[in-house]
Amino acid sequence: MSLAVGPHDWVVAEHVVAGTRLLPGVAVFELAARAAGRGTPIGIRGVQWLRPFAVPAANVAQLRLEDGRFVLTDGPGGAVCARGRITEDVRPEPETLDVAAVAARCPRHRTGTDLYDGFTAAGIAYGPSFRALRDVRYGADEALGRLLVPPARAAELPGRPLHPVPLDAALQTVAVLCATEDGRPLIPFALGRFDSLAPVPADGYVHVRREGAGLTVRLAGHDGRVVARFTDLVLRPASPTAPVHPGPVTTRDEALIHLPEWRRAGPAPAAPGPVGARVRVVHGPGTAELAAALVAEHRSAGDHATAAAGPAPGDCPDVVYVLACEAYRGGAAEADPAPFDLLRTLRSLIGWGTGRPVRVKVVLAGAADAGDGPVRPHTAGMVGMAASAAAEYPAWSVGCVDIGTRPWEAARLAALLRREPAAERLVVLRPGRRLVRAVRPAAGPVADLGGGHPYRDGGSYLIVGGTGGIGRELAHHLARTVGARLTLVGRTAADPGVRELLADVERLGGRAVHEQADVSDAVALRAVVRRARRRFGALHGAFHAAMVLDDRTLARLDEPGLARVLAPKTAGAVAFGEVLRTERLDFMAFFSSAVSFTGSAGQANYAAASTFEDACAAQLRERCPFPVTVVNWGYWGSVGRVADERYARRLAGFGVSPLEPSEGLAALDTLLLHAVPQALVVRASAAGLARLGAVPGEETPVSDPAAPPGALRGTAVLPSAASGTAV
C-alpha cells in the first residue's frame, strides 16, 4: 500500500527531529495492519527502524507485505526505512497495570510542560497533536506516564485502533529513563515484539520498565487494562541528516572511521590468583624450552605447574598457557592447526565448568602487525577466538600475548608471561616494551567523507563475494560512479537474484559478469582472473568480500563448523592474495569485521576468521607493490548477512548502530583514496567504542594532505602520554 505524505500534514509537521519533518516510527504499525487488512488484536515481530522517513517535500510511504513480512520504503523502490513481520502469535492474555503500586515506586516527577520543553531543547519539536503526556513519574528503572490525547486526535481513535499519537506518547515516556551523552534525541531502532490487544485509548497510562539491554513499554486504559505492549525496545541517537540527504557525507560530529594504533603500556601487574594455583602449559615440540621455563617460574612461586601436549582428562587448572609461538611454524598459514588446538583446549575448559575463574594466556609469535617485523598470520585466528571466549564466559580471563619473532631468553620471557593478567585481548611484548592496541577517530582528509574516490572511469574491478549484500551495494556504486566493468565471483551458480544484479549494473552504466568459483581454490580463482583480463582488460582493483556466518557458542562449535567459517577468510584470503599480488592493481581491499576488535559471544569461528584475514592482509602489504587496505566493518543495518532484528538488538545493546550503505561506501572511497592500511568503520556510542578499544584524546591524522596515496604504511606506536588512558 502507499500513503502520500506532504510536509504540511499534521503527522509530520508536528513531529520534527533535528529540523527535519519525520513520519513517527510507530506509524509503521498502522500501515502494516492496514496492508494486512487487520485490526486488533495483532502481533508484529522483529521490527527494525533503519532510517527516518523524512518529508522535506511531498513524499510517498510505500509498504510492501508478503507472507507476513513487510518493508516500508522511502517511495517506490526507495531506501528501506523500516521492516518487520506480522504474526498470528498474539499474546492476548489479560493484564492489568497496578497504577498505584507503580506510582509508589516512582518518586520523581515531571510535568508535561517540563517534559516537552526538554524535548524541544534536545531537538525534537512536537506540535499540539503529539503532546499527549500530562505528566510522568519515574524511578531508577521504571516510569509511569499519564496519557491524555488532545481532543482533535481523540476524535479519530474509534476508526484507528493503532493511531500513532498514543503509541508515540508511549515511546516519549522512555525519555525520562534514557539520555545520550551528547544530548541528541533518541529514536526507535529495534523492537522484539509489539502486541496490540485492543484499540489504543484517549485516556490512560504508559508504564516503562528497563529490562536488560532493552525496554518494555505497556499502554493501558484509564482502568489499568493493558491494551498494547512493546517488548525488547532499543533506541538509538537520532541522526536524520546523514540518511535523509543525498550527496557527500560528513562525519565531523560523529566519526565513522577509526584507526588502530599501538600504545605503550606500563609493565603488567602481577596476575592475581590463588597461592598454589594449578597451572597447565599446553605446548608443542617447538616450544618445549619455554614450557619448561614457565613450569619452573610457577613452581618457584609455589604453584603446581605441569606441561603437556594438551589438556589432561580430569584436569581442572586455574591458569592455562597455550603456546603457539614456535620460532618457525611450517606449512601453509591457512592450514595451520592453531585455531583447532585452541578450540579443543577451550572445550575441555568448558567441560570442567564455566562458572569458576580460569586465566587463559595464548602466546603467539608475529601474528600482530606491530610494525617491527614480518607478520606471520598462521596463529592470528586465535586472537579472535580467545576474545570471543572471554565474552561468552565472564568468569574467565582470556587474552593473547604476541612475543614477536626475535629470540628471547626463556627464563626472562617466562617471568614476563607469568605477570600477564590476560585482561587485554591482545598484548604485544618486546624486549623493554609492552604495547596494547587502541583505536582513535581519524582526522585530516579522511575525516570528511565524500571528497573523492580512487576508481578509474570504465575501470575493471574484481569483487569476490560480489553477490552478497555489501558486494551488491559496491557493484551498484562502482557502476554508478565510474561505469565500471565488474567481475563478480560467487560460490553458487547465477540465480534470478544474480541476473537481476547484472541487469542493475548495466542500467547504472556499468558492465558485469558473474563467475562461479570458490575463492579458496587458487586454481579456479586464477582462471577467473585470466578470463576477466581477456574480457575487460587489465584489472585495476580487487575486493575480497567473501564470508560465511554460522553463529554458535563454543560449547556447540565443532571442528567442521569452525573449518567451514574459516575457509573464505583463511584459505580464501591467501589464495586471493597469491593470485592477485603480481597484477598491476591500484589497490587491494579486504572486507573484514569489527569483531576483530572486540569479543563477540557466539561468534568465535567468525572472529577467528576475521583476525586471520587482518593478519594475512598485513603480510600481503609487505609483499605487494600496491596498497592493501583492510576495512573492519561495523553493522550494515539494511544489507548484508546480519541485516536482521536479532543482530540489531544484540548490537544496540553494545552501543552499536547501523551504517547506511551511502555512509559505508563513502568511507570505503576515502580509505582507498588515501591508501589507509586498516580502519574500523562503525557507528557507535562512547560505550560502544570503548568496547572496541577506543581511547580518549586527539584524533589521529591519516596522512598529510599533500602526501601521495600510499605514503602511509604500517601502524603508529604512540607513547603513553600521547595515547591517554585505556578505557
Indicate whether 518 belongs to any domain: no
d(CA 667, CA 474): 12
pLDDT at 300: 95
Half-sphere exposure of residue 474: CA atoms within 13 angstroms, side-chain side: 30
In angstroms, rounded to a whole number, what is the distance separating the alpha carbons of residues 163 and 480?
41
Under DSSP, is residue 454 helix (H, G, I), strand (E, B) or coil?
coil
- The torsion defined by the Cα of 345, 346, 347 and 348, in degrees rounded to 10, comes to 50
Residue 307 vs residues 320, 324, 590: alpha-carbon distances, Å: 10, 14, 39
Domain boundary pick from 438, 456, 483 = 438
> pLDDT digit string (tens) for 546-586?
999 888 899 999 999 999 999 999 999 999 999 999 999 99
Least confident of 62-76, 250-264, 394-408, 411-425: 250-264
Same domain, 224 and 318: no
The DSSP bridge partners found for residue 629 are 589
Q: Which of 422, 438, 454 is the last residue of a domain?
A: 438
Q: Among residues 130, 224, 235, which one has the least CA distance to residue 174?
A: 235
Residue 304 shares a structural domain with residue 155? no
466 lies in a domain?
no
Query: Same domain, yes or no, for 314 and 423?
Result: yes
- Cis preceding linkage at 41, omega within 30: yes
Beta strands in 545-605 (DSSP E): 587-593
Nearest to 232 by CA among 594, 526, 653: 653
CA-to-CA separations, 529 to 325, 342, 574, 675, 679, in angstroms, rounded: 36, 36, 15, 23, 27
> For residue range 3-36, what is the model confidence (pLDDT) as tens digits?
888 889 999 999 998 888 999 999 999 999 998 8
CA dist., res. 380 & res. 383, Å (int): 6
110 or 655, which is more confident = 110
- What confidence score (pLDDT) does residue 703 get? 37
Q: What percent of the chain has pLDDT over 90?
A: 54
The whole-number pLDDT of residue 182 equals 54
User: Same structural domain for residues 210 and 350?
Assistant: no
Residues 239 and 383 in one domain: no
Read off the pTM: 0.68
Condensed to tens digits (0 to 9), the pLDDT of residues 299-326 reads: 999 999 999 987 666 668 999 999 999 8
CA–CA separation, 25 vs 27, rounded Å? 5
How long, in residues, is the chain? 727
Higher-confidence position of 269 and 250: 269
From CA 250, how far away is CA 706, in angstroms rounded?
A: 21
Whether 291 and 228 share a structural domain: no
In a shared domain, residues 178 and 300: no
> Would 641 be classed as within a structural domain?
no
Cα(708)–Cα(551) distance, integer angstroms: 42
Query: Do 162 and 288 fall within a single domain?
Result: no
Kindly state whether residues 189 and 77 are assigned to the same domain: yes
pLDDT at 647 (0 to 100):
60
Confidence band for 648, pLDDT divided at 50, 70 and 90: low
User: Which residue among 389, 414, 438 closes a domain?
Assistant: 438
- How far is 105 from 92, CA to CA, in rounded Å? 27
707, part of any domain? no
**How far apart (Å, rounded) are the C-alpha atoms in residues 142 and 12?**
29
| Joined grid coordinates for residue 238 | 537520532
Q: Is 305 in the same domain as 237?
A: no
Rounded mean pLDDT of 85-99?
80
Q: How many domains does the chain have?
A: 2
CA distance 204 to 206: 7
Q: Classify residue 504: in a domain, yes or no.
A: no
Residue 335's domain is classified under what CATH number? 3.40.50.11460
DSSP assignments along 81-146, one per residue: EEEEEEES-------B--HHHHHHT--EEEEHHHHHHHHHHHTEEE-GGG--EEEEEE-SSEEEEE
Q: How many CB atoms lie within 10 A of CB 414?
A: 23
Percentage, residues of the chain above pLDDT 70: 86
Among 124, 480, 81, 475, smallest CA distance to 244 is for 81
Is residue 172 domain-resident?
A: yes
pLDDT at 61: 85
Backbone angles phi, psi at 493, to 5 degrees: -70, 160
Among 58-67, 500-509, 595-604, 697-706, name the most confident range.
Answer: 500-509
H helices of 180-264, where?
A: 241-244
Q: Express each pLDDT in 47-73 by its tens digit.
A: 888 778 888 888 888 888 887 888 888
Looking at residues 314-341, what average pLDDT do you find? 84
> Does 533 reside within a domain?
no
- The three cell numbers of residue 511 are 558492465
Q: Is 355 exposed, middle or buried (0-12, 13-18, 19+ CB in 10 A)?
A: exposed
* Nearest Cα to Cα of residue 425 among 371, 380, 480: 380
Average pLDDT of the segment spanning 584-604: 90
**122 C-beta neighbours (distance < 10 Å), count:** 18
- Report whether 590 contacts 624 (CB < 8 A): no
- Asked whether the CA dihedral 432, 438, 442, 446 is positive or negative, the reply is positive
State the chain's mean pLDDT as an integer: 85
Is a pLDDT exceeding 50 seen at residue 394? Answer: yes
Specify if 540 maps to a domain.
no
Specify which residues 85 forms β-bridges with. Answer: 45, 69
Please list the helix, strand and coil fractions of the chain in percent, rounded to the nearest 5, in that order.
35, 30, 40
Mean pLDDT, to the nearest integer, of 233-252? 47
Instruction: Please check whether residue 280 is in contact with residue 705, taking contact to mean a CB–CB distance below 8 angstroms.
Output: no
CA separation for the pair 498, 478 (Å, rounded): 16
- 226 and 90 in a single domain? The answer is yes
Most confident of the ranges 360-374, 604-618, 632-646? 604-618
Cell of 473: 551495494
Amino acid present at 628: V
Looking at the fold, whether 234 and 295 belong to one and the same domain comes out as no
One-letter amino acid identity for 490?
A: G
- Per the CB < 8 A criterion, the answer to whether 288 and 321 are in contact is no
Distance from C-alpha of 44 to C-alpha of 39, rounded to nearest angstrom: 12
Q: How far apart are CA 410 and CA 293, in angstroms?
A: 6
Measured CA to CA in angstroms, residue 357 lies from 306, 320, 345, 425 at distances of 19, 11, 16, 17
Q: The domain that contains 206 carries what CATH number?
A: 3.10.129.110
The amino acid occupying position 369 is D
Domain that holds residue 364: 278-438
What long-range pairs does 291-297 form, CB within 8 A, spacing at least 24?
291/321, 291/323, 292/410, 293/410, 293/411, 293/413, 293/414, 294/321, 294/414, 294/417, 294/418, 296/411, 296/414, 297/411, 297/414, 297/415, 297/417, 297/418
